[in-house]
Amino acid sequence: MKRVGVFLCWCGSNIAAHVDLDRVQEMSEDLGNVVHVQQNKYMCSEPGQETVRKAIQRHGLDRVVIAACSPRMHERTFRRTVEGAGLNPYLLEIANVREHCSWVHPDKETGTPVAIDLVRTAVAKAVQDVPLQSSYAGVEKRALVIGGGIAGIQAALDIAGSGYEVVLVEREPTIGGRMAQLDKTFPTLDCSSCILTPKMVEVSQDPRIRLLTYAEVESLAGYVGNFEARIRLKARSVDFVKCTGCGDCWNKCPYRTPGEFDLGLGKRKAIFIPFPQAIPSKPTIDRDTCAYFQKNGKCQVCKKFCQAGAIDFEQTDEILEEKFGAVVVATGFDLWDHARYGEYGAGEHPDVISSLELERLLSASGPSDGHLKRPSDGREPKRVVFIQCVGSRDEAKGVGYCSKICCMYTAKHAIMLKEKIPDSQAFVFYIDVRTPGKNYEEFYRRATVEAGAQYIRGRVSRIYLRGKQLVVVGEDTLLGQKVEVEADLVVLASAVVSRADAPQVAQKLGFSYDNYGFFTEAHPKLAPVETNTAGIFLAGACQGPKDIPETVAQAGAAAAKVVRLFAKDKLETEPMVARVDPEHCAGCQWCRPICPYQAIGMETLTERPGGRRVTRRVARVNTSLCHGCGACSVACRSGAMNLLGFSNEQLWAEVEALCL
Amino acid sequence: MKVAYYPGCSSHGSAADYDRSARVVAGALGLGLVEVPDWNCCGASSAHALDHQLALDLAGRNLALAAQLDLGGVVTPCAACYSRLNRAHQWLGEDRRRWLDLAARVERPYRDVGKPRSLLELVVGAIGLPAVAERVRRPLQGLKVAAYYGCLMLRPPEVARFDDPENPRSMDDLLRTLGANPVRWGHKTECCGASLSVSRPELVRKLVDDILDNAAAAGAECLATACPMCQANLEQRRSADRTMPAYYFTDLAGLAFGFSPVDLGIAMHLDSSLHPLLSQGQGGDRP
Amino acid sequence: MPLAEVEPKIVAFFCNWCSYAGADLAGTSRIQYPPSVRIIRVPCSGRVNPRFILRAFQLGADGVLVAGCHPGDCHYSTGNYFSRRRLSLLRRFLAYLGIDERRFRVRWISASEGPRFAETVKEMTEELRQLGPAQKVAATSVD
């Protein structure tokens, strides 16, 4: 026998005018388990709450039902109220007699029976309520940032700047990412390196940031506040403690290979730093190119010239196991491979290049020292055709979405072209020019008016060679004419796509990704930097195409979320979570794939039925990961899985009470 | 290997030379071509333009006849036939009830015996380039060839389902295997003018000249085609000052296999001149 | 028509994030609808066990309405996909049990779709009026 108190709120006249509360009271008093019924004009007011608290104490109530507005409005308020009277806050139920009754029914005649049903149902549920407790877990106040591009750099700096330790993991031998490869940035034409490298240096000098380059996260276990990461430090064959970064080794190394940083347009040595401002500024040996590794210990020129004795051919990969409280994923993007467009030459024309390759050709630190020369013969291109939406907005061959940044960087390229080669002419084939952003439209106007770029609305159907001359054939859809442009260089604005291994990364870290491989935010509007795994946040283009300011803003937001987490010493977990009854669990694991949070694991139980020792596997819910959706409780075949707060017993009681 | 062979109308008329070289090359590769008995028009050009159902039924009847030979799929040397047969095959594949409807109309049972293939598709696919390489007796000595694919062998891509419709490579690969040096050029898949050859010859002349000029600019010494219509237009509709010879890919394969121009019907071309690289050692030495 | 005088009773399961909020919005917008529906709050439509639905029909509910977030909008990212599959199977099972499947509806109602919610209740109530009251099934438990 429970002792339920029912409190009927008038909400001024909001409820009282459409529901005969005296009749509801009479009915309620007749319900089993109900020992006290009371009305109040405004139950949510302080005096109203006080009457509830007093009644709990005076009548020894152990369950409370409040018939008032929507629980989405005041459930939290009333939980605190009953808690104030010494009752567990989850021994409270609310009957929504305002939004779901008095406001939608015209008079007492129609409203009252509905209210009676709702109160009776709430009482039935309350009788089944059980006290629930939050649990608490500690927080490891260190953040793991994966990816050392501008997103990861910004997130690391912001978290470290708030006083917390950060480990920044980058797969390449240097941080800097895509932004380091760019020449200028739109719409200000700031030199990309000039604004990025100070931040890179800041990362290397911040004592709270531990920088791990040439390293990859192999696995991530645990949950918010308590992640455990395994990080592989790839062997660089250089002892960083001894190395001074003097550069003798890479100057003397006799072996060259096309450099990744220059997208193969320039060469680097087998022992190298990817670009002059690389951080760390110490070299790495690429074992696939190095003669020592490829030709049985021959060469060793670097070792001979290294005065610090830092070359270590015997170095092996190292595994690091570290604990973290939160993770920021900032793994960046790739460009769509335009070789998949046969009509654009299938990647076979050396003078048909991607926009990122053009960045390298424009860059003063690039393979041509900033002199724009075309790859085939080193000639200065005079007529340059830019093609927009290569792969983007092309559901047939590429991706359906807009890559967002191409319109703007193409305008930048047109301006840069005119600046570098004043007697040049840019032609831009476009579908739409999209310039939403501060000073973006003005910048595009600058490309057309000042730099004189000729924008042609239409798609290119073919790029072909007439002898040695590249010819671009397209349609001008505004004129309704076929156009042919002879070009010295063609630049393709290839789609921004997710990293090829993005799905594996998402699976490894435990959150979801979309059809294109971009990481999925927890909510498109209200949780754009969170993932659906608590404690893992997203920054930058790994979540979708973004320009630099947006990336920096998102990285700052991700850092703020991390800092918010670290501001607490203990994390309170939601008490309304799934729970397994191990007695009934058959260990079928049907619940595990249905859980969107990977919150269900297995544990081994040891029992001694009749003196025999028996072990069996049963499901176990990690309450730190569970969000309380209840999907598992329906999937469970043996009824072992239940959802606290919306338990099988509670919902069953509600159905039965409603159908009386 | 034996396959049902659907020659199409050109092969028995204006492109009898193609038919001859196709049979010679097929024979040399151990491929038996069994002509589909009582075959009819594939439905290209007129039927296709006037009555889609009739065009499908015409091609469908040929497929039904080919299926009765019980040799597996059907092969055709002509790109237009290839397109029509594939369209009908695909249409029939979409709904099995169409099989019965077709059978009632053409008075033959229909059975799906696989995607109709072009001769080129069969040679580079089922037979394969290693087998071709083994058969080469007189490599083409780096002859610079512009492989010309035209349209219907590749497009519409969902019908042809063969090679990259924008940047095909299969014929280039075959020519390389034969010892030729296929050039990289821009007009591989441009339109030859097709049947506009009859109604608007001047327009076709421009298209053909563009193709020949682009091949010449790329350094090609001759063209290779895989379609009687393309071949006819390239030879007939060119301006008088264009002299680049156009061969069927089977001509070049046959020569590389050691057959004579006469065996291959090259003499029946409008321009039957042989490039010097091809005419060396003509005569005996028959394999 | 005597049938119309008895208001049918609809047992409704509404997910907390979208549909329950949509019904709240109908309230705050004062959109009137028939006093037939009684909403049970659940965290997610994926929490609705078909046995709850069958129990409601067994006890004589005239209709059952399950509402959740639109596909793709689930607060828990995938819950409504599970309920969509699960409940379309249940629908086929209803006929086998002798329950008219028109008594059972699944709707995607977002937090902004107060009018759609009210419209759904109106339509469903009208249809249930036409169908007449449901029969209580024998009182043996389906549990």
User: Which residues of B lie inside 8 Å of A (Cβ-Cβ)?
Assistant: 164-168, 184-187, 213-214, 217-218
Closest listed residue to residue A307, CA positions, set A239, A244, A241: A244
What pLDDT score does B283 carry?
41
Whether B184 sits inside 8 A of A465 (CB atoms) is yes
Segments of chain B assigned E as strands: 2-5, 32-35, 74-76, 117-118, 144-147, 181-182, 222-225, 246-248
B185 touches B215 (CB < 8 A)? yes
- Predicted ipTM? 0.94
Please, what is the average pLDDT of chain A?
A: 93
Contacts of B52 (CB under 8 A, 6+ apart): none
| Distance, first Cα to last Cα, chain C | 37
Output A459-463 pairs: Cβ under 8 A, ≥24 positions apart: A459/A389, A459/A429, A459/A431, A460/A343, A460/A344, A460/A385, A460/A387, A460/A429, A461/A343, A462/A343, A462/A344, A462/B166, A462/B186, A463/A343, A463/A344, A463/A345, A463/A349, A463/A352, A463/A487, A463/A490, A463/B186
Quote the minimal CA–CA distance from A467 to chain B in Å: 4
Q: How large is the C-alpha radius of gyration of chain C?
A: 15
Cα A167 to the center of its chain, rounded Å = 18
Mean pLDDT of A591-596: 92
Contacts of B181 (CB under 8 A, 6+ apart): B142, B143, B144, B145, B175
Using pLDDT thresholds of 50, 70 and 90, give the confidence band for residue C1. very low
What pLDDT score does C143 carry?
47
Quote the minimal CA–CA distance from C33 to chain A in Å: 6
A578–C contact, CB cutoff 8 A: no
What pLDDT score does C139 carry?
55
Q: In whole angstroms, what is the distance from residue C88 CA to residue A634 CA?
A: 15
Residue A582, pLDDT > 60, answer yes
A598–C contact, CB cutoff 8 A: no
B234 touches B223 (CB < 8 A)? yes
What pLDDT score does A623 carry?
86
A520 interaction partners in chain C (CB closer than 8 Å): 77
Whether A630 sits inside 8 A of C61 (CB atoms) is no
Which residue in the set B165, B168, B186 is minimally distant from A464, CB to CB?
B186
A628–C contact, CB cutoff 8 A: yes
User: Omega into A258 within 30° of 0, i.e. cis?
Assistant: no
Q: What subunits touch chain B, counting only 3 or more CB pairs under 8 A?
A: A
A107-111, A291-295, A323-327, A492-496: the lowest-pLDDT one:
A291-295
Which residue on chain A is closest to B211 by alpha carbon? A466
Whether A72 sits inside 8 A of C43 (CB atoms) is no
Q: In whole angstroms, what is the distance from residue C57 CA to residue A656 CA?
A: 10
Q: In whole angstroms, what is the distance from residue A101 CA to residue A68 CA?
A: 10
Three-state DSSP class for residue A336: coil
Q: In whole angstroms, what is the distance from residue C28 CA to residue B87 CA?
A: 59
pLDDT, one tens digit for every residue, chain B (287 residues):
899 999 999 998 889 999 999 999 999 999 999 999 999 999 987 888 899 999 999 999 999 999 999 887 899 999 999 999 999 999 999 999 999 999 999 999 999 989 999 999 999 999 999 999 999 999 999 999 999 999 999 999 999 999 999 889 999 999 999 999 999 998 999 999 888 888 999 999 999 999 999 999 999 999 999 999 999 999 989 998 998 999 999 999 999 999 998 889 888 888 877 777 777 654 434 33
pTM > 0.90: yes or no: no
Q: In whole angstroms, what is the distance from residue C64 CA to residue A600 CA?
A: 31
Q: In whole angstroms, what is the distance from residue C73 CA to residue C80 CA?
A: 9
A117–C contact, CB cutoff 8 A: yes
Mean pLDDT of A86-106: 95
Task: Find the helix or strand (DSSP H, E) in which A292 lies.
Answer: helix A291-294
Q: In whole angstroms, what is the distance from residue B6 CA to residue C132 CA?
A: 68
B218 interaction partners in chain A (CB closer than 8 Å): 465, 467
Amino acid at A613: R
Tokens (6 digits) for A428? 């831009």
A9 touches A44 (CB < 8 A)? yes
Amino acid at B11: S
What pLDDT score does A356 carry?
96
What pLDDT score does A202 carry?
95
B260 touches B138 (CB < 8 A)? no
Q: In whole angstroms, what is the distance from residue A476 CA to residue A491 CA?
A: 18
Residue C4, pLDDT > 70, answer no
Which residue in the set A104, A634, A658 is minimally distant from C46, CB to CB?
A634
Which residue in the set A341, A342, A466 is minimally distant from B214, CB to CB?
A466
Mean pLDDT of A515-533: 86
Q: In whole angstroms, what is the distance from residue C60 CA to residue A373 CA?
A: 82
Q: In whole angstroms, what is the distance from residue B54 CA to residue C82 CA?
A: 48
Residue A159: count of CB within 10 angstroms of its CB: 30
Report the relative pairing of strands A641-643 and A578-580 from DSSP bridges.
antiparallel
Which residue in the set A345, A346, A465 is minimally distant from B218, CB to CB?
A465
Q: In whole angstroms, what is the distance from residue A120 CA to residue B8 CA?
A: 83
Q: In whole angstroms, what is the distance from residue A614 CA to residue A611 CA?
A: 9
A7-21, A289-303, A403-417, A430-444: the lowest-pLDDT one:
A289-303
Mean pLDDT of A456-485: 93
Q: In whole angstroms, what is the distance from residue A556 CA to residue B77 CA?
A: 64
Using pLDDT thresholds of 50, 70 and 90, give the confidence band for residue C142. very low
Q: Which residues on adjacent β-strands are paired with residue A68?
A: A96
Whether A594 sits inside 8 A of C43 (CB atoms) is no
Tokens (6 digits) for C132? 């007449």
Share of chain A above pLDDT 90, in %: 82
Structure letter (DSSP) for residue B35: E
Task: Find the helix or strand (DSSP H, E) in which A491 lies.
Answer: strand A489-494
- Per-residue model confidence as pLDDT tens digits over C14-46: 999 889 999 999 999 999 999 999 999 999 999
- Per-residue model confidence as pLDDT tens digits over A539-573: 999 999 999 999 999 999 999 999 999 999 988 88
Quote the minimal CA–CA distance from C3 to chain A in Å: 17
- In 3-state terms, chain A is what percent helix, strand and coil (to 5)? 30, 25, 45
Contacts of A191 (CB under 8 A, 6+ apart): A183, A184, A185
A418-427, B58-67, C68-77: the lowest-pLDDT one:
C68-77
Site of tokens 């001024």: A12
Q: In whole angstroms, what is the distance from residue C16 CA to residue A402 CA?
A: 34
Residue A190, pLDDT > 80, answer yes
Tokens (6 digits) for A90? 């989850």
Whether A465 sits inside 8 A of B166 (CB atoms) is no
A487 touches A374 (CB < 8 A)? no
A350–B contact, CB cutoff 8 A: no
Task: Find the helix or strand (DSSP H, E) in which B21 lies.
Answer: helix B16-28
Amino acid at A104: V
Share of chain A above pLDDT 70, in %: 100
Residue C103, pLDDT > 60, answer yes
Whether C79 sits inside 8 A of A631 (CB atoms) is yes
Structure letter (DSSP) for residue A441: H
Cα B162 to the center of its chain, rounded Å = 13
A471–B contact, CB cutoff 8 A: yes
The larger pLDDT score, comparing residue A363 to residue C135, is at A363
Amino acid at A512: S
Three-state DSSP class for residue A481: strand
What pLDDT score does C127 carry?
94
- Per-residue model confidence as pLDDT tens digits over A626-655: 889 999 999 999 999 999 999 999 999 999
What pLDDT score does A497 carry?
96
A339 interaction partners in chain B (CB closer than 8 Å): none
C49 interaction partners in chain A (CB closer than 8 Å): 633-634, 648, 651
Tokens (6 digits) for A151? 């997103």
